[in-house]
Structure 1
Amino acid sequence: MTQVPVWVPVVVGLLGLLGVLGAQFIAAWREDRRWNREKRRDEDNKRFDARREAYAQVIGALESWDWVMHPHKDKARGVDLDTGELELVDLRTAWIEAKNVLGLINLVGTREIRDLLRTAMISRSRLSRELTRPNKADIRLELVEKYWSEAQDAYARLRNLMRSDLGFEAVDPKGSPARPDLVER
């Protein structure tokens, strides 16, 4: 009968222990990686939701402002519309509502989106001031057209950037899908 040296069972026991400890280490490492992935995914989802909410608020406010401003613009062009005090209140309200949605977009929007939004807001603000002059004869039609054009151009580019940022197709001014890399910046 041959005897097994004492060191062999000790080594086998140590290898078994190292195997169990190694498996535990690997399992813990994999769990940490999975947890970190889920945490990043959750943070990304929260950022996406915040951007989507901010973008929707801004788009809604700008489009509402345009709808309210449009009759004043037509009146300045000579279209016979009765725009009285109630319409001026609506215009001022749309103006204030647009200003009130800037906080979240300034928090979550990219610099490029914030810059385009500033252009869109300033053009609309200047247009609103021009359209609400007390004496309608003082309204300068060339400024009305300039501010309206600037506002609409900035809005179209802003909307396309927002859509692209959210993973949607950009749309050209005529409404058909456009490739984001061809959208004028």
Structure 2
Amino acid sequence: MVLLIGSSMFAQSVSAADPSLAELKKVLQSQIELMKPELKGKVKDLSMDTKMSLMAILAMHSRYSERATLRQVMTEVLSDYQSVLAGIMTDNPEHTADSARRLANHRIPVGGLLPYLGMENISDERLAVLDSFNSSVEGNALKLADAAEAGDMVKAASLIGDISSGCVGCHGVFRSQPGVSDLLSLK
């Protein structure tokens, strides 16, 4: 679920010989370019541990939007979640697994995640919870997909509550008024 960093340490550690790392660097740079100066400053002040954690979450995704806001991405996630439920309720393992994998690899919004969280949440302390929310939602969505593919729809269904708890927990910490962030300099 994240975007981050403009860390020169990260930029220096990315090798042009590794296409996946080079691509991640490009994504990160494009996200940082969209940030307003006050957000860039807060991101720069994050600890390297927080930056690396956010990068690890971002690296789990392969779909990045140049237009969709976090609110739009969350609507897609809700749609995928509802599709997982439909697959479980109709005992359709393929439907369930496909929907769960889409949920786990949801699109990253324009500018990444941080511009939508609010300046008050751009700190090491506040962002430390993202890893657990990511594991709860995306990690359990992948486990659910694996269970469905193995034909164990009971196990797949048992993971729905954990996914829901992760969604609700993250929203409880970070969500305020949904919509376009005032921390992006969009053209």
TM-score w.r.t. the length of structure 2 is 0.42
Which structure: greater helix fraction?
1
Larger radius of gyration: 1
Between the two structures, name the one with larger relative contact order (CA 8 Å, sep ≥ 6): 2
TM-score scaled by length of structure 1: 0.43
